[in-house]
Amino acid sequence: MTVRPRVLLVADPHRDGIPATLAIVEPAIQSRAENVLRIAPDDALPEDHFDVAVVLGGDGTILAQARRLASRGTPIAGVNVGRLGFLAAFDADEFAGAAERILGDDPPVTERMMLEIAVESAGSATSNSTELDWAPALNECVVTAGPPFRMIELGLDFNGNGGPHLSGDGLIVSTPTGSTAYNVSAGGPIVHPSCDALVITPLAVHSLAFRPVIASPDEPITITVVRVNEGTTLVIDGQLTRRLEIGDRVHVRRGGHRVRMIRDPSTEFWSTVVRKMRWATGPTYRDR
């Protein structure tokens, strides 16, 4: 006999588009679930166990919930109510049509690598990585120059074996999931989210010889802040920020948890890249 799941529904009813989406999604869940608890994105997570989390919103909402739910191992089904919705596998009608499988015994789940980021302040006595305050990220961490927008200088170290220095507007370290976000806009490579890798992409680097690279996830990266602006900032998933000062060290490593995302089995990653990001769209020819 099929076990009816307990479902956590994350939605902000005051956001444009959410009420109409809820009107389609919520009945599809209620008809198949043992219990449904709806919370707002900023509400505290309940202590109870839930089998599935259904998150309504844009990519930002899904990123924030992924960071909160990864340690619990809760599969996340994203329903797009944003503009692009690259992380959301479904729109409202697609979710309703696939609800039986999404909420069934064997939903199509894919696991995605995360990052953990910690800042070791200049002059800090903390040298043991276990004592640092590590923050999770699904997409990326960015060191960005900030105002007054002069070039900054950063030193890179791969697993204690050294690395290059760069002068420019900053640096992105992304996961494969985040490779289609800020990373690709900055000229970095697209990496299939089933891979595990660290994608390092410089921002407006003052060099013709520093290109984006893909490193092993087993090579922790340390970014040493050599020269900064007053507003130089570490940004995590575009949502969490921390100002940086000369001598600060930003440590980046593979996350200890993986995000479990429920995918739409009728679509595939590369077709999504073509459809949503218009990959390799060519000129408008008269005969096409």
Query: Cα separation of 256 and 61, whole Å?
Result: 22
For the cut 50, the answer to whether the pLDDT of residue 1 exceeds it is: no
> Helices (H), strands (E): how many in the chain?
5, 16
Would you state the pLDDT for residue 2?
66
Of the pLDDT bands very low, low, confident and very high (cuts 50, 70, 90), residue 111 is: very high
Please return the burial class of 201, using the count of CB atoms within 10 Å of its CB with bins 0-12, 13-18 and 19+. buried
Domain with CATH 3.40.50.10330 in the chain: 6-108+263-277
pLDDT at residue 131, as a whole number:
72
Cβ contact 69:257 at 8 Å: no
What distance in Å separates the CA atoms of residue 75 and residue 230, rounded to the nearest whole number? 40
- What number is the average pLDDT over the span 19-37? 96
Q: 114-255 has which fold?
A: Tumour Suppressor Smad4 (2.60.200)
Nearest-angstrom CA–CA distance, 270 and 282? 17
Mean pLDDT of 1-24: 92
The two beta strands, 152-158 and 240-243, are unpaired
How far apart are the C-alpha atoms of 124 and 117, rounded to whole Å? 16
Percent of the chain exceeding pLDDT 90 equals: 84
CA distances from 21 to 28, 119, 275 (A): 11, 39, 22
Q: Rounded CA gap, 221 and 162, in Å?
A: 10
Neighbours of 112 (CB within 10 A): 22
Quick check: 90 pLDDT over 50?
Answer: yes
Question: Residues 89, 259, 130, CA angle at the centre, nearest 5°?
Answer: 160
Q: Is the pLDDT of residue 126 over 90?
A: no
pLDDT at 84: 76
Mean pLDDT within 256-284? 89
Provide CATH 2.60.200.30 ranges for the chain.
Answer: 114-255
pLDDT of residue 222 exceeding 70, the answer is yes
State both tokens at 232. Answer: 């130089």
Peptide bond into 148 cis (omega under 30): yes
Measured CA angle at 19 (ends 14, 23), to 5 deg: 155
Give dist(CA 264, CA 226) in Å, integer. Answer: 45
pLDDT of 227 over the 80 cut:
yes
Ranking 15-29, 140-154, 274-288 by mean pLDDT, the lowest is: 274-288
CA distance 281 to 191: 19
Active site residues: 59
> Helix-strand-coil percent breakdown of the chain, rounded to 5?
20, 35, 45
**Average pLDDT for the chain:** 94
pLDDT confidence of residue 275 = 85
What tokens appear for 242 in the block? Answer: 């921390």
Residue type for position 265? P
Q: Which is nearest to 99 in space by CA: 269, 262, 259?
A: 262
Topology of domain 6-108+263-277 in CATH is Rossmann fold (3.40.50)
Q: Is the pLDDT of residue 79 over 60?
A: yes
Task: Write the DSSP assignment of 27-40 as a string of letters.
Answer: HHHHTT-SEEEEE-
Residue 156 reports pLDDT greater than 70 = yes
Backbone angles phi, psi at 167, to 5 degrees: -115, 135
CA distance 185 to 178: 11
Does the pLDDT at position 7 exceed 90? yes
Strand partners, 136: 116
Return the higher-pLDDT residue of 104 and 126: 104
Match 């890798």 to its residue by tokens: 197
For 178-202, the pLDDT digits (tens) are: 999 999 999 999 999 999 999 999 9
Assess whether pLDDT exceeds 70 at residue 128: no
Q: What is the mean pLDDT of residues 65-90?
A: 93
Please determine, for residue 248, whether its predicted confidence score (pLDDT) is greater than 80: yes
For residue 235, what pLDDT is reported? 98
For 18-22, 126-130, 246-250, which range has the lowest pLDDT when averaged over its residues? 126-130
